[in-house]
Structure 1
Amino acid sequence: MTDMGKVFWLFSILCHFAFQTATPQNCTGLVEISFQEIKDALVKVKEIDVLTNKIAVLETNLATLKKYVPSVIFHVKVSDGKDPEIKKRIIYDSIILNTGSAYSPSTGKFTAPVSGTYWFAYSVLGLLTSQNTVVYLMRNQKKQSYIHSVLNRDQAQTGAMTLILPLHKGDEVWLYLANGMAWTGDGSLSFQGVLLEANEA
């Protein structure tokens, strides 16, 4: 529809509401529309078109954000007394938060639901009898970082590590107790992760 057509359509609507019905008999005033009235009406029509286009762009952007930026946050720990086995993956069985359900308490693995940049943190507290405790953060069978706690007997100290990793969709991240023994009391053996930025591709 042309701008002029929109103007006549607009005046027809106004006439309809004024007379409850739009007929040539009661809307003859339409032919007497002044140039200024037409000009003002065109401005209003263009303003409506601009607003309509802005709404369409906002709706598209919102759909894109919903598609590529899912909420992925998890915070898990090992329950008190469930000491992990040496040379095995640590199973964090107690879930505090698992938005997006990307962490599996049955396997101990976090699986990236989308490609993007992720932040991870983990901690370990070696037992008093464990003088050499090592925990690795793994990604697809490859070591990415680790905590190595070396203390004298009857000493203990919490170690913590944070890192940022670029992951592809389907990449798996987990913790592996390579040496020593870890204390699980009061959530001392924990694992957290957050999606910082998702990739569109």
Structure 2
Amino acid sequence: MEQYFKVVVTLVLLAIGCQAQHNLTTGQLHSRVRELEENLASLAKLVDMQKSQAVPANNVVSGFEKKGSVRIGNGFTLGTSNTGEVGFHVSLTDDVPLDWGMKLPFDTIVENIGEAYNKAAAEFTCPISGTYLFSLNIACKKDSYVEISVEISNGSYSPRYILNTVCDHRKRALLGGGSLYCGNTQNGGTAIVSLAQGEKVTVKRLWPRNGSGTVILGGGFSTFSGYLLRTP
């Protein structure tokens, strides 16, 4: 209210100045001041009402918590962090021979926000329906050719493939004889996709369907990442 008092004093001084300029009587001046005081009182009531309706900052809930998370007591269900954030980044520790249909067993967990990536199962299980970003980077050893895909499934429908990449590290014949290792020894890509809660995301060998000799390079050269961008 101290601020309002200062405003009133200022207005009174302005009113006195107006009286000097316009020859207002004392009664007219008092009437103007009372009118201003009533307006300021109404304004003060409006400000108090707005303050009482304001939400305290510590009670504000993030967009992910409001839209995409299920609370249990004061926490969240498995698969979400305390803020509703979901994300992971994993890599391959050792070189791995990869047969057709085999999951690529990323076993080094760099980040696993929400614990939705299962290292033992080599899969990410979607904890919250929403839009996700996935990134895959694959490196293969010499004499290897492989087509790798990010696969989405839930066991009740045919899997869908959202990201395919080719890793080709075979010899190429040279003009005049001889050969040379060349090609895409490391490749990858990024995809944005909508997932439903419970869907599983894995990385598998898509092609060729038979034959062996394909070895995926470990040592952190092959990586897989995912992150929740937004919820419905």
TM-score by length of 2: 0.61
Instruction: Give 2:187's match in structure 1, choosing from 150, 155, 159.
Output: 159
Query: After the TM superposition, which residues 1-201 of structure 1 pair with which residues of structure 2 at under 5 Å, given as runs?
Result: 40-53=40-53, 55-56=54-55, 62=61, 64-68=63-67, 70-81=84-95, 83-87=96-100, 88-130=102-144, 132-140=145-153, 141-153=159-171, 154-155=181-182, 157-178=185-206, 179=208, 181-199=214-232
Opposite residue 47 of structure 2, the aligned amino acid is E
Contact 1:72/1:99 (CA < 8 Å) preserved in 2?
yes
Between stretches 179-188 and 133-142, larger displacement belongs to: 179-188
Q: What do residues 42-67 of structure 1 show as CA deviations (whole Å, max 9, x unaligned)?
A: 432220211232x2397776255423
Structure whose CA Rg is larger: 2
Opposite residue 163 of structure 2, the aligned amino acid is S
Partner of 1:13: none
Contact 1:117/1:197 (CA < 8 Å) preserved in 2?
yes
Q: How many residues align?
A: 163
In structure 2, relative to structure 1, the CA distance for the partners of 1:37 and 1:127 (3 Å cut) is: same
Partner of 1:6: none
Contact 1:125/1:188 (CA < 8 Å) preserved in 2?
yes
User: Structure 1 or 2: larger helix share?
Assistant: 1
Q: Secondary structure at the match of 1:186?
A: coil
RMSD: 2.6
Q: What do residues 80-137 of structure 1 show as CA deviations (whole Å, max 9, x unaligned)?
A: 24x153121111111000111111111111111111111101111121021x211111
The Cα shift of 1:76 comes to: 0.1
TM-score by length of 1: 0.70
**Structure 2 portions without partners, runs of 5+:** 1-33, 69-83, 154-158, 172-180
Opposite residue 123 of structure 1, the aligned amino acid is N
Rounded to whole Å, the distance in 1 between the matches of 2:229 and 2:121 is: 24
In structure 2, relative to structure 1, the CA distance for the partners of 1:112 and 1:60 (3 Å cut) is: same
Q: Secondary structure at the match of 2:133?
A: strand
Q: Secondary structure at the match of 1:106?
A: coil
In structure 2, relative to structure 1, the CA distance for the partners of 1:36 and 1:148 (3 Å cut) is: closer
Contact 1:84/1:177 (CA < 8 Å) preserved in 2?
no
**Structure 1 portions without partners, runs of 5+:** 1-33
